[in-house]
Amino acid sequence: MQFLTTGTKKYKFTLEGEMGLNVMYSKTKTETSWVLQVNNISGNRYIIDLVAYDIFLKECDNEGFRELFQVTRQFQKLYDEIKVITDWEGNLVEVLNQKQLIEKWKQIKIETIQYFNDDMNLDDFFSVNDEEFAKPEFLHRIIREVEFFFLYLQLGGYGRNFSSWGLTEIKRDNIYHCFTFKNQ
């Protein structure tokens, strides 16, 4: 990956997926739009801001998965604005807005509890509590999983066309595989 100048560019990513959960099966199509701003280029590093400004479930043939999208979208709000340093290969070096993300995590938990019910405890539901979430290595890990970093900055290299990869299909867990769900 190599950015030659600072500046701003928009990206749109459409993901068509097939999901199965026990006997349920569904096909979905989501669309995510990002604004990437390269703020600084120095040495072999970039300071970038990544803002997700539209995330839509365009198609879904299963009401259960439609509801699941709404719940996961709530958690995706955490990644709506990320400021990081990456190296020239697109690898995450440092998260610059860690405090903002920690505060956003707390707000998302409050909103999600309201979405479900007042008795829901997300620290019990997820194996991630506030102390674990605030660790730099945890934030580093989950931000590396954001599809933008994988698809645009690491997989093919910035500026390469998808068709030049020679791949017909890419299989990968989504960002939420970092969280461990506990049976209630």
**Residue 183 falls within a domain, yes or no?**
no
State how far the Cα of 28 lies from the Cα of 19, in Å rounded to an integer: 8
**Tokens 């999983």, located at residue:** 145
State how far the Cα of 7 lies from the Cα of 120, in Å rounded to an integer: 43
Domain hosting residue 126, numbered range: 7-178
Local confidence pLDDT in tens for the 184 residues of the chain:
567 889 999 988 888 888 777 777 778 898 999 999 999 998 889 999 999 989 999 998 888 778 878 877 887 888 899 999 988 877 889 999 999 999 998 888 777 765 555 555 555 555 567 788 888 888 888 887 787 776 666 555 444 444 444 554 555 555 444 443 333 3
**Residue 15 falls within a domain, yes or no?**
yes
**Residue 11 falls within a domain, yes or no?**
yes
**Total domains present in the chain:** 1
What pTM was estimated for this model as a whole?
0.72
Closest by CA to 126, choosing from 176, 80, 76, is: 176
Distances, alpha carbon 137 to alpha carbons 76, 93, 112, 133, 182, in Å:
19, 11, 24, 9, 22
φ, ψ of residue 134 to 5 degrees: the values are -75, -10
**Residue 52 falls within a domain, yes or no?**
yes
CA–CA–CA angle 17, 174, 154 (5° rounding)? 105
**Residue 2 falls within a domain, yes or no?**
no
**Residue 1 falls within a domain, yes or no?**
no
Distances, alpha carbon 54 to alpha carbons 22, 57, 120, 163, in Å:
30, 10, 28, 25
**Residue 184 falls within a domain, yes or no?**
no
**Residue 47 falls within a domain, yes or no?**
yes
φ, ψ of residue 95 to 5 degrees: the values are -95, 120
Region of residue 159 (left: phi > 0; alpha: psi -120 to 50; beta: else): left
